[in-house]
Amino acid sequence: MFALEFPSIDNLVKWPEYLFEGTFAGFNKISLILVLAMLIPTVLFLLAKRDLVPRGIQNIVESIVEFVENQIIMAAIGPEGMKYLPLLLSIFLFVFFGNIFEVIPTFQMPANARMANPLILAVVVWVTFIGAGIKAQGFGGFMKSSLVPPGTPAALLPLMMLIEFISTFLLRPFGLAVRLFANMLAGHILLVTFGVLCITLWTLSPLVVVLPFSFGMLVALTGFEMMVAFLQAFIFALLAAVYINLSIHAH
Amino acid sequence: MSLLLIIAAEGPAKEADNPILPVVPELFWSALTFAAFFLLIKFVLLPPVKRTMDLRAEAIRSDLDAAEAAKASASSAAGDVDDQLAGARAEAAAVIDAARSEAETERQSILAQANAEVAKMKELAEADLAAARSQAMDQVRPKVAELATSAASKAMDRTIDVEAARPIVDSYLSNSN
């Protein structure tokens, strides 16, 4: 009678395809969120006026651009990193709007709670920081600065190079992708858990007195997830900038 | 009782893969939408926003420079005014000193002139006084001589010639002065 029937993980993260079912372009809720994560900031940028004294949406758009410039690029790379503004701004906005659908009614699913989007973005960052490193230091210089820590004894070089290779070229993108994916999936499961708990308590009359506490937690966690949505976008873009900075500068 | 969440109402997707692993359609849409978004940001959306922000930064920088120049100019003008004020004060002090010195000289001159005039007037007055006295003596002397001679005549009970006694009376009067 008091059993809590929790939906399976497949019910939480897998969505049926609405269009192109069964093809490589099968369009489901995640795809829709990704399209919206592209369209919403695009519309915001298009609606922003070009006044010297900013108002309304222009304020929001310019604040976002300034945030990425000052808190991500200047903090992690410096003035020379400004050429990466389009990429880092795209990553920040795409991750944020992909995440924020976690708390938007009827969607209530972050696109980044599926591995595909974090993986694609991590691959983009991976390609970018390798390309930036090769461009800045040349292939040999980049590989040397990436794989050979300064002051490494000759005897330890093979081992260190192996460790650095795994760390730089495999774990960095993997860590980027998994951090975002795991955080958003955990948040999603947390919200679902309290949602299920609220529904269950509502239908179990003896325990309905506990419902306000559970509902309060659900509301609080929804606010928390909004913060996480922003924080994960910021961390992803900041780490991308840090990796680019590490690539373009030799030890 | 069976519970289903709103978010789970659509039911699971067909594939029974590991839910953690990425699936090809989502990879495709992710790559497509991000690539489109990046290209839009880079070539369409960001440049005008950056241009506006740069224009504003330039306008602010220009205004700040102008304000700084105006401040420097005002500071310089204030310095000039201070210099002019100090010069005027020094000039005024010099004029005052010169005037004071001139006045002192004038005062001394007037004082000396007045003293000289006073001395001259004093001399004249003394001369007038002496002349008046002499004139008075001259007028009084015959009467005194007559009076003295008359008195002496009565006292001595004999007639004394006034003219003979005049030198004696004159000598007496002269000595009594």
Quick one: pLDDT band at residue B131, thresholds 50, 70, 90?
confident
Specify whether the CB–CB gap between A128 and A240 falls below 8 A.
Answer: yes
Cross-chain Cβ contact A7/B42 below 8 Å: no
Instruction: Answer whether residue B45 shows pLDDT above 50.
Output: yes
Lowest mean pLDDT among A4-8, A64-68, A219-223: A4-8
C-beta separation of B30 from A120 below 8 A: yes
Regarding predicted confidence, which is higher, A70 or B173?
A: A70
Which residues of chain B have a CB within 8 Å of the CB of A34? 26, 29-30, 33-34
B3–A196 CB contact, under 8 Å: yes
Contact A95, A233 (CB under 8 A): yes
Q: Do A26 and B25 lie within an 8 Å CB cutoff?
A: yes
pLDDT tens readout for residues B108-127: 999 999 999 999 988 998 88
Least CB–CB distance from A108: residue in B7, B15, B36: B7
Q: Which of A24, A118, A27 is nearest to B13 (CA)?
A: A27
Query: In this predicted structure, what is the pLDDT of residue B68?
Result: 94
Q: Which residues of A touch B31 (CB under 8 A)?
A: 120
List the single residue in A24, A38, A120 with the smallest CB-CB distance to B25: A24
Can you tell me the mean pLDDT for A121-150? 94
Q: Is A30 in Cβ contact with B29 (below 8 Å)? A: yes
- Give the mean pLDDT of A228-251: 93
pLDDT band at B176 (very low <50, low <70, confident <90, very high): low
Task: Chain B: give the shortest CA distance to residue A147, in Å.
Answer: 29
Nearest one of A155, A211, A19 to B29, comparing CA atoms: A19
> Rounded mean pLDDT of chain A?
91
Give the residue with greater pLDDT, B5 vs A251.
A251
Residue A169 in this model has a pLDDT that exceeds 90 = yes
Ranges assigned E (strand) in A92-213: none
Mean pLDDT of A187-201: 88
Chain B neighbors of A30, CB-CB under 8 A: 26, 29
**A12 or B66: which leads in pLDDT:** B66
pLDDT of residue A248: 92
Query: Is pLDDT above 60 for B14?
Result: no
**Nearest residue, CB atoms, A45 vs list B15, B21, B45:** B45
Distance from CA of A58 to the nearest CA of B (A): 8
Work out the number of other CB atoms within 10 angstroms of the CB of residue A129.
26
pLDDT of residue A135: 94
Judge whether A50 is closer than 8 Å to chain B, CB to CB. Answer: yes
pLDDT band at B149 (very low <50, low <70, confident <90, very high): confident
Model confidence pLDDT, tens digit, residues A37-84: 999 999 999 999 888 888 899 999 999 999 999 999 999 999 999 999
Sign of the C-alpha dihedral computed for residues A197, A201, A207 and A208 taken in this order: positive
Q: Is the pLDDT of residue A174 over 50?
A: yes
pLDDT of residue B142: 80
Tokens of B23: 């699936």
How distant is the Cα of A155 from the closest Cα of chain B, in angstroms?
A: 39
Q: Which range, of A29-43, A186-200, A235-249, B19-33, averages the lowest pLDDT?
A: A186-200
pLDDT greater than 60 at residue A192: yes
| Residue spans per domain, chain B | 44-176
Nearest chain A residue to B39, by CA: A86
Among B15, B30, B11, which residue's Cα sits nearest to residue A111? Answer: B30
Residue A251's pLDDT is what? 65
Name the β-bridge partners of A27.
A19
| The pair of three-digit structure tokens given for residue B131, joined into one six-digit string | 């002349």
Can you give the pLDDT at residue B10?
44
- Which tokens is A82 given? 């400004």
Residue-level pLDDT at A162:
94
First to last CA, chain B: 161
Q: How far apart are CA A249 and CA B94, in angstroms?
A: 71
Task: Flag if B29 and A34 touch (Cβ within 8 Å).
Answer: yes
**How many Cα atoms within 13 Å fall on the side-chain side of residue A36?**
18
Q: Which residues of A touch B53 (CB under 8 A)?
A: 62, 65-66
By CA distance, what is B27's nearest residue in A? A116
Q: Do B37 and A42 touch (CB under 8 A)?
A: yes
Q: Please say if the pLDDT value at position A105 is more than 70.
A: yes
For residues A194 and A240, what is the distance between their CA atoms, to the nearest angstrom? 33
pLDDT at B143 over 50: yes
Amino acid B177: pLDDT: 56
Measured distance CA(A177)–CA(A193) in Å, rounded: 24
| Between B155 and A35, the higher pLDDT residue | A35
For the stretch A86-101, pLDDT in tens is 999 999 999 999 999 9
SS3 for A104? coil
Helix axis angle, B24-40 to A29-47, nearest 10°: 10
The per-residue pLDDT for B134 is 82
pLDDT-derived band at B35, boundaries 50, 70, 90: very high
- Of B54, B37, B61, B62, give the one whose Cα is nearest residue A65: B54
